[in-house]
Amino acid sequence: MQDQSWLTTEEAAAYVRLKERKLYELVAQGAVPCTKVSGKWLFPRAGLDRWLEAGLARPEGLEPAPPPPIVGGSQDSLLELAIRESGCGLALLAEGSQAGLDRLLRNEVAIAALHLHATPDDEAANLVAIRAEGMLHDAVVINFARREQGLLLAPGNPLGLDGLASAIAKGARFAQRQRGAGAQLLLQSLLERAGVGSGRMVAAEGICATGQDLALAIRTGRADCGIAARAVAMAFGLEFLPLVWEHVDLVMRRRSYFEPQAQKLLGWMRGPDMAARAREFGGYDLSISGSVRLNR
pLDDT tens for each residue of 202-235: 999 999 999 999 999 999 999 999 999 999 999 9
Strand 173-177 relative to strand 202-208: parallel, antiparallel, unpaired? parallel
Per-residue CA distances from 121 to 125, 161, 205 (Å): 6, 27, 31
Q: Which amino acid is at 98?
A: Q
Strand partners, 246: 147
Per DSSP bridges, beta strands 40-44 and 173-177 are: unpaired
CA-CA distance, 257 to 292, in Å (whole number)?
Answer: 11
pLDDT of residue 220: 97
DSSP three-state, residue 29: coil
List pLDDT tens digits, range 35-83.
888 888 998 887 788 777 666 555 555 566 789 999 999 999 999 999 9
Q: What distances in angstroms separate CA 188 from CA 114, 181, 226, one per listed residue? A: 17, 11, 12
Q: Is the pLDDT of residue 2 over 80?
A: no
Distance of CA 272 to the CA centre of its chain: 19
Task: Report the Cα 123 to chain-centroid distance in Å.
Answer: 13
Residues 127-176 have pLDDT tens digits of 989 988 878 888 999 999 999 999 999 999 999 999 999 999 999 999 99
Nearest to 144 by CA among 52, 74, 42: 74
Predicted model pTM? 0.78
pLDDT at 196: 74
The per-residue pLDDT for 1 is 46
